Structure 1
């Protein structure tokens, strides 16, 4: 039921993911951040069973940090994507991770022009660099929007506009109501949260519990 969206531009990558955690007919939560920070300039959006997404993204981020400590070298975005692809392929015949991934990163170059990269990966270990991409049921509705509106060298505002149009299309056409989306922008300077996960709604039961926990002043 997940939806991942990604667009690469000049010096930036925009990643978006729905905030739902659901299985079968049950909605467990609607404020999940599915975009993990791998480094200051790399992010990984993950779709699939929650257990696989959490364990795999943590495994990747910790091993990338360990590699940097051991070798005093940061992985480039392409090297990180290749490492992720290798780990997926290695696990495929033993205990496969049911994860679909979009990885975005921006590398600083000596010439002064930052290189933005977006990589599409699936649970089989497929790896492909793409200008834009999507995963999940939402891909059936949004890839045509991206194909129509994407132009090479587009600005950040234009990329965010395409993401908004994709989300509007999902809200109009998709049977499943994915109300909340998390949107992040990756640049060489860091990762900016454009739209974060919503604050949990405690509801009447949660509000009553909070009120009961507050001591009464006599």
Structure 2
């Protein structure tokens, strides 16, 4: 047999490896938010670090937004979706004001946010929201959401990359769980601010996606006051 006729001289059949065609428009940009409702106030706090894995994109990319004189929204997850969602809500709030000649209450905004997220349930906003404010009775209110609009009113909640670290701390310090002879007196604003700062200071030691600066919004019937607190930067 001549070499040209042998199997060794013939090229192996060309095999095309399978190629995965995938479109993934989402990214988790990290960061953490906390909302705590008091008797006549609400505190919403969020850090300003925007990251992608081990890379910090920005040290000042706010995730909490003042929506009205009685409501503040925070969005964790994909930063671009959070910004877009905030713009959509602002447009609808303006339409409401022009139609009814009054600002939207935090209760109405909570329902509208749920509807807005649910309308996009087949291609959802990758934004996990906390809405904090003061209701018509002057009481603090916190609403927490998943990405498709399911929500409930709570007294306190955290969301974001360090939520697993902060939520047990809030359960103990705000919810008074696992305490002996725990006080039943409502927390003062000063105590809530101290707890909020302690929660973030502690979380930055263990979560690389949370840090740089802390924005704190204090919501009362008189309006919204913003405070800033430095956090760990490495």
TM-score (norm: length of structure 2): 0.77
Measured in 2, the distance between the counterparts of 1:69 and 1:38 equals 16
Summarize deviations over 1:147-199 as a string: whole Å, max 9, x none. 1111562110010111012112212333445232211111111110111789x
Pairing partner for 1:121 from 145, 151, 171: 145
Q: Which residue of structure 1 lines up, in the alignment, with residue 42 of structure 2?
A: 13
Q: Alpha-carbon deviation of 1:108? A: 4.2
Whether 1:47 aligns to 2:82 is no
Measured in 2, the distance between the counterparts of 1:160 and 1:67 equals 33
Q: Which segments of 5 or more consecutive residues in structure 2 lack a partner in the other structure?
A: 1-29, 176-184
Retained in 2: the 8 A contact 1:5–1:15? yes
Q: Which has the higher helix share?
A: 1
Structure number with larger C-alpha Rg = 2
Q: Specify which structure has the bigger relative contact order, considering alpha-carbon pairs within 8 angstroms and separated by 6 or more residues.
A: 1
TM-score (norm: length of structure 1): 0.82
Measured in 1, the distance between the counterparts of 2:129 and 2:212 equals 21
Retained in 2: the 8 A contact 1:33–1:197? no
> Structure 2 matches for 1:1-218, cutoff 5 A?
1-93=30-122, 95-109=123-137, 114-150=138-174, 153-176=186-209, 178-195=211-228
Supply the RMSD in Å over aligned alpha carbons.
1.9
Poorly superposed stretches of 4+, deviation over 3 Å = none
Secondary structure of residue in 2 paired with 1:173: coil
CA change 1:122–1:40 in 2 (3 A) is: same
Measured in 2, the distance between the counterparts of 1:67 and 1:124 equals 23
Q: Which residue of structure 2 lines up, in the alignment, with residue 210 of structure 1?
A: none
